[in-house]
């Protein structure tokens, strides 16, 4: 069934944040910050992959993602749904099912044997492709997937994620320069608001998380020197 009638964007954001907190996909630790893939510290970490183990929540969020894309991009905007290896693959499959569209996935790099392909499945030339991922931080990791899709002759001007950090102003600009528009369900700000409302973490931790979200680069720089 193709979803069409759902809550407004603000309520979708609040409910998404609530679900992520409920399944403990959100981790806050100000005393012992996490190390991100960039090597920089962060008091926040999110694991959207956990969603695949919670059927009711994953179904609701995929309905939310499908309707968000249709509202913001158009009801007939796409011919193919592509998932980025690996976290984006299950979510792309579920969105494709809801939109009644073919699904493909994009490898991070050619597999090194056989056809040496990066695209798995059937992606026709001139197809309008939506790239689906679990999350995005600064948008940079999406560009390689987009380029691989475009190399087939297809177009890719949109990417949809469950979670967008929403704290690095260069993200939308980075994607925009590459001709890609971002669609998402919630950000760290939505999660922080819901965490305060539900008292999911102690106040000191939430205050430190807010300090990070307000000025992430200075926060990281200060702690990278210690």
The predicted structure's pLDDT at residue 38: 73
Hey, is 208 helix, strand or coil? helix
Domain assignment present for 225: no
pLDDT in tens, 44-75: 999 999 999 999 999 999 999 999 999 999 99
Domain assignment present for 1: no
Domain assignment present for 29: yes
- Residue 182 CA to residue 124 CA, distance in Å, equals 23
Beta-strand ranges (E) seen in the chain are: 26-28, 34-35, 41-42, 44-46, 80-84, 103-106, 119-120, 128-136, 155-164, 181-187
Name the DSSP letter for residue 182.
E
Segments in the chain below pLDDT 70: 1, 3-5, 112-116, 225-226
Domain assignment present for 4: no
- Residue 205 CA to residue 28 CA, distance in Å, equals 7
Domain total in the chain: 1
Domain assignment present for 104: yes
**Domain of 47: which CATH number?**
3.40.50.2020
- Residue 172 CA to residue 169 CA, distance in Å, equals 7
What residues make up the domain containing 135?
A: 9-220
Domain assignment present for 190: yes
pLDDT in tens, 184-217: 999 999 999 999 999 999 999 999 999 999 999 9
């Amino acid at each position: 069934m193709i979803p069409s009638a759902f809550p407004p964007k603000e309520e979708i954001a609040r409910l998404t944040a609530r679900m992520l907190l409920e399944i403990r996909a959100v981790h806050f630790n100000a005393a012992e910050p996490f190390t991100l893939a960039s090597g920089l510290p962060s008091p926040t970490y999110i694991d959207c992959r956990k969603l695949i183990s919670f059927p009711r929540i994953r179904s609701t969020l995929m309905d939310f993602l499908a309707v968000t894309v249709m509202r913001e991009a158009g009801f007939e905007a796409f011919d193919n749904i592509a998932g980025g290896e690996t976290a984006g693959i299950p979510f792309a499959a579920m969105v494709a099912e809801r939109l009644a569209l073919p699904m493909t996935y994009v490898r991070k790099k050619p597999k090194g044997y056989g056809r040496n392909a990066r695209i798995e499945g059937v992606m026709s030339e001139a197809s309008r492709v939506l790239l689906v991922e679990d999350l995005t931080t600064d948008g940079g990791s999406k560009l390689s997937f987009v380029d691989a899709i475009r190399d087939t002759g297809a177009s890719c001007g949109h990417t949809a994620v469950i979670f967008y950090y929403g704290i690095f102003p260069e993200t939308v600009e980075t994607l925009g320069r590459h001709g890609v528009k971002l669609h998402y369900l919630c950000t760290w700000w939505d999660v922080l608001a819901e965490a305060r409302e539900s008292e999911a973490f102690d106040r000191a931790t939430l205050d430190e998380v807010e300090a990070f979200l307000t000025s992430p680069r200075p926060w990281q720089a200060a702690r990278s020197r210690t």
